[in-house]
Amino acid sequence: MGGATTSSPVAGSRRASRPRRPPREATEELGLTVAVGRRVAEFPFAGALHHFFLATPIGGRFGDGHGPEMRSEDPLELGTYRAVWLPLDDLLALDVRPRAGARLIAGVRAAGWAWPRGVARLREET
């Protein structure tokens, strides 16, 4: 993880009442074991409310995800997935979704990684 000691929003979950889900999602999709911190954002998508938590990597190897979306047998049906590090300087120029999440991360970075105290309620852009 490049020696980073700060938390980043790497785990998402559809239900805030299931705190075990974000670590599983991080393992399945990224190959990382994470310590989950507080919820920092929520985003309505496809009829569900998705929750995003701060998470600190504590083990595993980035890119070793093994969840079903990582091993689709039919890329035309589900697309293909590959975990990649994105340069933060390019974040707003890339097609990162939700777009409001990319702006939130860019703003937090510009503020010295000071996350807002409350939960950001991200909205889909039209």
Instruction: Tell me what pLDDT residue 42 has.
Output: 93
Yes or no: say if 35 and 22 are a contact pair by the CB < 8 Å rule. no
Q: pTM for the complete prediction?
A: 0.74
Q: What is the pLDDT of residue 7?
A: 46
Which structure tokens are listed for 89? 């300087």
- Number of separate helices (H) and strands (E) present in the chain: 3, 4
Domain residue ranges in the chain: 8-82
Q: What is the pLDDT of residues 7-62, one digit of tens each?
A: 455 445 455 445 557 888 889 889 999 999 999 999 998 888 888 999 999 999 99
Supply φ then ψ for residue 105, to 5 degrees: -60, -45
Encoding tokens for residue 57? 């990597």
14 phi, psi to nearest 5 deg: -80, -20
Is a pLDDT exceeding 80 seen at residue 5?
no
Q: How confident is the model at residue 102 (pLDDT cuts 50, 70, 90)?
A: very high
Residue 119's nearest CA partner among 40, 13, 7 is 40
C-alpha span between 121 and 40 (Å, rounded): 9
